[in-house]
Structure 1
């Protein structure tokens, strides 16, 4: 008989592995998003379907960290300092590769300046963002433990409303930045997903009919992903060119689909405890897969004509190839102990 701890671990690993694959699928789909042609609808479909990937990672972090109680020095040593080696390693990896490709960063102190100024390749933004998010975790924990159900709902409602404002502002053509005028920026940002993840897990555990709750979330995830896709099409046609406004991780439809996706994956994970071992092995590699997959995607895209074919099938096929090759590369690297700290 499996314990609740085993089910919880399997659920977290399932969510992390699927979110990682969604990241890969999203970046493959994005290759052909920026021009209206016969392939655009496939890109829009897969991109809309996977927009909850980064929110899922943050919600997992919220579940794993907000419920813990540990002194601040222990948190900084055991959690925060662990995110710096991957940031440095993968930034230097891509800078070295870019140097071989002809890009020049100057002397060593210019490399340091470049590292400090932001990601050297676009997808590494997440490693930089997580630095600030982790710094806030000890204080968010205090809020989580000190608030009751009503306060938690109120915080999440305010966060969702404030997060929707940039999308509403753009659609309505409003010049005034109400977030600044009314000082409600504290309720804005990706850190809210940590709070949402911890809350959604509690909500799931309180359900009496979890099968029905799971099925409802499957349908709602499909609905909100479809709304993201249709809204992106409508706004892009209005703008005259593909526009990712509704792809933003804090846009209303993405926030709603992320809520549903987490419920779906958490519920699915609790039902596959017999695969907990393989899931745990794959889950341990997801950070490395996230970091290396763009390198492998670019090499495959250059080497094969796959993305020139029908995107309805070439996008998922390419995503599976990139994911498997990335996973194989990271598993090989993790056989050497030093790489465990950066993958």
Structure 2
């Protein structure tokens, strides 16, 4: 299967990057919860609307990289060389930038930023704690940990993808589809009298000594990779009118579940972020419905390839890596400066953040010795 450059993929990567920034711009508004109902609802609405952002990135990786045609060593060398250096750099740079920001004298109005977490001692610890996991300053980098895992697995799954029949792929995607509804089965199980296993409420074999239930190996972001590969090998070849007739209702249904479920969860479990996140899971069936709808429509859009589009697309990785601290700056600048509705503020914060992040990436791209930090 030929993997030629796709102009629509460049455009989709740019759009997905902006949607990620938009989602993070919603966080302080969602964090108001019942303290400011209007701001919470605005943040929840837009945050739910842009939920396909990360799965779209993953589907692009599946469409462009699968099946892997090289040996494992070559593939790992190419991908890790591109990702590890900027990942390590920004894992250490972001805590330093947050420390400088908190102690710059800038008045912080975000409910999510806790100044006590940005002392000298805490900042120094964060410079190596990324070896274990991300933290608040590097929240957006959770995606990189996951992406590294997908890269590690791509050469493993590629031989099967190359010889798999259409029916084989249907089987895999069907099992993955079951995993998409399990988070909601877990939420509903207590209604049927299920109280967990020794206090652990996991399903299908999950317990304190085993995190790997029946559908674990078919779950998560791997399904998006395989789905994108499937759509590349077996394109639907629908007209735009047919695509829209299917995708728009599917998207609206997924969005209604996402937004409505988020608001209802806050109502019945106020301030319970663990429960709220279930509705926003990227690998939940509702977000899947939204993601595949956007992906199918974007595939149909005729985009003229251009060097400018390609360059901007290539810079989105750096924008993603550095943007989170600029979301904080944007909120502190925009929020007290205008009485506009929360939705307008969120858009202004996202636009400011994208512009500043892109400027940083382009400045670092000028010098060869800093280009690897963002490209």
Q: For 2:349 and 2:128, how far apart are their aligned partners in 1?
A: 35
Structure with more helix by fraction: 1
CA-CA distance at 1:226 after TM superposition:
2.5
Q: For 1:77 and 1:218, how far apart are their aligned partners in 2?
A: 40
Which residues in structure 2 correspond to 1:207-246 (within 5 Å)? 207-241=237-271, 243-246=276-279
Asked if the contact 1:162–1:179 (Cα under 8 Å) also holds between the matched residues in 2, the reply is no
Asked if the contact 1:232–1:247 (Cα under 8 Å) also holds between the matched residues in 2, the reply is yes
Q: For 2:204 and 2:13, how far apart are their aligned partners in 1?
A: 32
Q: 1:46 to 1:178 in 2, by over 3 A?
A: same
Asked if the contact 2:180–2:219 (Cα under 8 Å) also holds between the matched residues in 1, the reply is yes
CA-CA distance at 1:264 after TM superposition:
1.8
**2:193 pairs with 1:163:** no
Which of 318, 332, 335 aligns to 2:363? It is 332
> What is aligned with 1:117?
132
Asked if the contact 2:52–2:291 (Cα under 8 Å) also holds between the matched residues in 1, the reply is yes
CA shift digits 1:78-120 (9 cap, x unpaired): 1233211111010111132245455335898x56641311124
* 3-state SS in 2 of match to 1:43: helix
CA-CA distance at 1:13 after TM superposition:
0.4
Structure 2: runs of 5+ lacking an equivalent:
104-117, 207-212
> What is aligned with 1:197?
228
CA-CA distance at 1:295 after TM superposition:
1.3
Q: 1:295 to 1:206 in 2, by over 3 A?
A: same
Which of 304, 325, 350 aligns to 1:319? It is 350
Pairs aligned (count): 334
Q: For 1:301 and 1:136, how far apart are their aligned partners in 2?
A: 38
Q: For 2:85 and 2:242, how far apart are their aligned partners in 1?
A: 43
Asked if the contact 2:95–2:127 (Cα under 8 Å) also holds between the matched residues in 1, the reply is no
Q: For 1:117 and 1:253, how far apart are their aligned partners in 2?
A: 31
Q: For 1:306 and 1:137, how far apart are their aligned partners in 2?
A: 47
CA-CA distance at 1:214 after TM superposition:
4.1
Q: 1:317 to 1:222 in 2, by over 3 A?
A: farther
CA-CA distance at 1:285 after TM superposition:
0.8
> What is aligned with 1:147?
164
Q: For 2:369 and 2:176, how far apart are their aligned partners in 1?
A: 39
Q: 1:201 to 1:119 in 2, by over 3 A?
A: same
Q: 1:306 to 1:69 in 2, by over 3 A?
A: farther
Which residues in structure 2 correspond to 1:1-150 (within 5 Å)? 8-34=5-31, 35-36=33-34, 37-100=37-100, 101=103, 102-105=118-121, 113-120=128-135, 121-150=138-167
Query: Which stretch of structure 1 is more off in the superposition, 58-67 or 296-305?
Result: 296-305
Which of 278, 284, 309 aligns to 1:279? It is 309
Q: For 1:107 and 1:39, how far apart are their aligned partners in 2?
A: 31
Q: TM-score, normalised by structure 2?
A: 0.81
Asked if the contact 1:52–1:255 (Cα under 8 Å) also holds between the matched residues in 2, the reply is yes
CA shift digits 1:59-84 (9 cap, x unpaired): 11111111341111210111233211
Asked if the contact 1:22–1:53 (Cα under 8 Å) also holds between the matched residues in 2, the reply is yes
- Alpha-carbon RMSD across the aligned residues, in angstroms, is 2.4
Q: For 2:270 and 2:72, how far apart are their aligned partners in 1?
A: 51
Q: For 2:172 and 2:337, how far apart are their aligned partners in 1?
A: 46
CA-CA distance at 1:240 after TM superposition:
3.3
CA-CA distance at 1:288 after TM superposition:
0.9
* 3-state SS in 1 of match to 2:130: helix
Asked if the contact 1:87–1:128 (Cα under 8 Å) also holds between the matched residues in 2, the reply is no
Q: For 1:15 and 1:302, how far apart are their aligned partners in 2?
A: 29
Which of 177, 193, 196 aligns to 2:202? It is 177
Q: For 1:112 and 1:32, how far apart are their aligned partners in 2?
A: 29
Structure 1: runs of 5+ lacking an equivalent:
none
Q: 1:135 to 1:199 in 2, by over 3 A?
A: same
* 3-state SS in 1 of match to 2:120: coil
Asked if the contact 1:80–1:135 (Cα under 8 Å) also holds between the matched residues in 2, the reply is no
Q: 1:171 to 1:338 in 2, by over 3 A?
A: farther
